[in-house]
Structures are given as structure tokens and as C-alpha cells.
Structure 1
Amino acid sequence: MPEQPPYPPTPQEVQEISSPEQFAALAHPLRQRLLFALGRRPATISQLAAHLETAKGNVAHHLKVLRTAGLVHVAETRQVRGGTEQYYQRVARRMIVAEPEAAGTAAMFGAVAQELDRSPAETHLTLRHLHLSPAKAQHLGETLARLIDETEEDAETEPVHGMLFALYQHAQLPEPGGSA
């Protein structure tokens, strides 16, 4: 394993999810929650296990999958009581899934559902279907993405809020009397 730098590297701003290994890694709710938890700062296996209320071995296994897929890396190591403690970090602050796959999307929604269930504050969850032209749908998507990107964050002492944005075209129903 290569030697780690003496300081944690700054995460990339955006990582596009495109490889089969990345899609497979995203197809489990705990791995999604690990990525959520690593969204702010590096953490150890013990810290993540306590935060997510699961076993350290479980966290270690899923971190290995995420690391192999290139979604997390060891940001720093520290010597503690005769051993080495590793701090894991997401490779990028934001991940874009250009062509979502069903398993990864289902895992992401499952992880978001678990996070919503654990939220100590009021949550907002809305599903709405709109009739939009392709141009208007593109404009709405770009506007919402820009709003998310341009939202200035408060100090790191403030609570973290999760956001999942999806804009998709509904599949068409078959015409009456037509075949499915």
C-alpha cells in the first residue's frame, strides 16, 4: 500500500459514477450511508460503526468495496496504541450518476429512507409529476442543480442536511388496445 500524505487530500468537487464496480458498490444501502457519513470529514471504522450503529467488521467490509471502486480512500493514518488507525474519506464531495442503474438507485433510496427515519428535525419529502416540454424539463433540472450548487454552506458546526435531487421522464403507458 502506498504511503499516505502527511495531510488529508482535498476531495475532488465532482466524481462521475460510470464503471460497473462503482455501480455494484452503490447497490447496497449501508455503502450509501457510509458515503453520506463521509461527506463532511474523514472518519475511522470505529467512528463510522458507532455513528451507523453497526459492527466494525461490517463497516470494514463495505469500506473495502467502496475503496476498490474508487469512491473512498484512506485520507490519513495515525499511530495509536501500537497500531495504525486509518481515516477514510470520500474521493469527491458530490457524485453524479449519469446513467442510473436500478440496483444502485434502489439502494440510494433505501439509504435515504434510513436517514430520513433517523433525522432529529422536520424532513421534507415531495413527489410530484408535471407535464413539461423537454426544454422546460431541462431548464427546471438546470435551475435546481444550480440552486443546489450555489447554496452557500454555513459553518461546520451547523447540522448537515441531505439532499437527493432526481428529475426523470415518466415511462409512457401503452395506448389502449395496444400491446405492452
Structure 2
Amino acid sequence: MVIEPEDSLRIETAAQHRALGHPLRQRLLFSLGQQPATTSQLAAALGVAKGSVGHHLKTLREAGLVRVVETRQVRGGTEQYYQRTARRMDLDDPSHATTSAMLGGLAEELSTADDDPLLVLRHLRLSDAQAERLRAALTEIAESATDDGDEAPRHGLLVTMYRQGTTGAGPA
């Protein structure tokens, strides 16, 4: 029986934010966005010890971000297949620790990308109206992107827009 992940999950609780606050947990969530996997499969794919993967999966599971979708008996034990509970996770409060961990996990993913990844950072001076139009356009692009089936290669998409803080700002 295949359990499909929810379309989206709003990240609201302290436990969920804490669970997202580690780059390896971010990478596990990236990997589990592809297909269900066991602790051993994830450890091999990410080049991390099984014990470490197991510890971080437990944290993600307790926070409701991953779940066991299948178990199989193998060599006297039970193998558990984990899957994300949602395809997309929306942060209600992108705290510093969560954002840092997410970007750290993303940096590790970019370093192993199969092609030439696109990464653009620009700072623009925009009126409130211009900023709102750009935000709406970026949201539309991200929301309208759809999967092309299980056989197509996976691509990561990170969209962010923020108003720069004044603390530590350079010359105007």
C-alpha cells in the first residue's frame, strides 16, 4: 500500500523548528523527497554513518516531518522505509537556526549537483509595489512548477525574497 505525502505541511511547533535546525536533517528531507528509503540507503547515499542517520530520522519522525511507510523482514530484523509527510514544508517563522540549517543543507546539495546549478543573489532597491509584484511572480513560478513523473530527474528549487535589514548594512 503506497501512502502519498500531503501536498504541504505548515511548520509551526517548536519541535518542528528544532528538527529542521540541522543541515543533515535538511539533507535527509531532500533525499526523502525522491522516494521512500531505509536508514542504510540514506546513509550510503549521503555518505553518513547509519547511527547518525538513525538519530536524525528519529528527531524528524517525532516532529511529524517523516513517517514509516513500509516495513520488510530482512535477515532476522525489520527494515523500515521512511518518507516525508509532505512534499512542501512552509515555515511560519523562518528563525535563524532553521534558515541557517536549510541553507547549509542546500549548500551540501549544490556541491554534489550533477549539472551547473543556478544560484543568483541580487540586492535591488524596490518600491513596496515593485516588491509585491516580484514576490507574487516568484510565488506563482514556484507554485505552478509540477513534477514530470518518476522517470524525470529531480531538481531543487529554492525561492526567497526578503527585505534587507538595516543592521550591519553597508553604504547606501
| TM-score in terms of structure 1 length | 0.88
- Give SS of 2:151's match: coil
Determine whether 1:102 maps to 2:102: no
Q: Is 2:26 the partner of 1:32?
A: yes
User: What's the counterpart of residue 161 of structure 2?
Assistant: 167
The letter for the 1-side match of 2:21 is A
Aligned length: 169
Letter in 1 for 2:47: E
Ranges in structure 2 where 5+ consecutive residues have no aligned partner: none
The alignment status of 1:132 with 2:126, answered yes or no, reads yes
Partner of residue 45, structure 2: 51
Cα drift, residue 120 of structure 1 = 1.8
Q: Which has the larger radius of gyration?
A: 1
Task: Report the CA distance between 1:173 and its aligned residue.
Answer: 5.2
> 1:133-179: per-residue Cα shift (whole Å, max 9, x none)?
223322222221221221232232222111111111111259xxxxx
Name the Cα RMSD after superposition.
Answer: 1.6
1: CA distance, partners of 2:146 / 2:111: 26
Tell me which residue corresponds to 1:119.
Answer: 113
Amino acid at match of 1:91: T
Following the alignment from structure 2 to structure 1, what is the Cα–Cα distance between the partners of residues 64 and 128?
A: 34
Query: Does the CA contact (< 8 Å) of 2:142 and 2:159 recur in 1?
Result: no
2-side partners of 1:173 and 1:89: how far apart?
40
Deviation at 1:18, TM superposition (A): 1.1
Q: Which SS does the other structure have where 1:96 is aligned?
A: strand
Contact 2:25 / 2:57 at 8 angstroms: preserved in 1? yes
Ranges in structure 1 where 5+ consecutive residues have no aligned partner: 1-6, 175-180
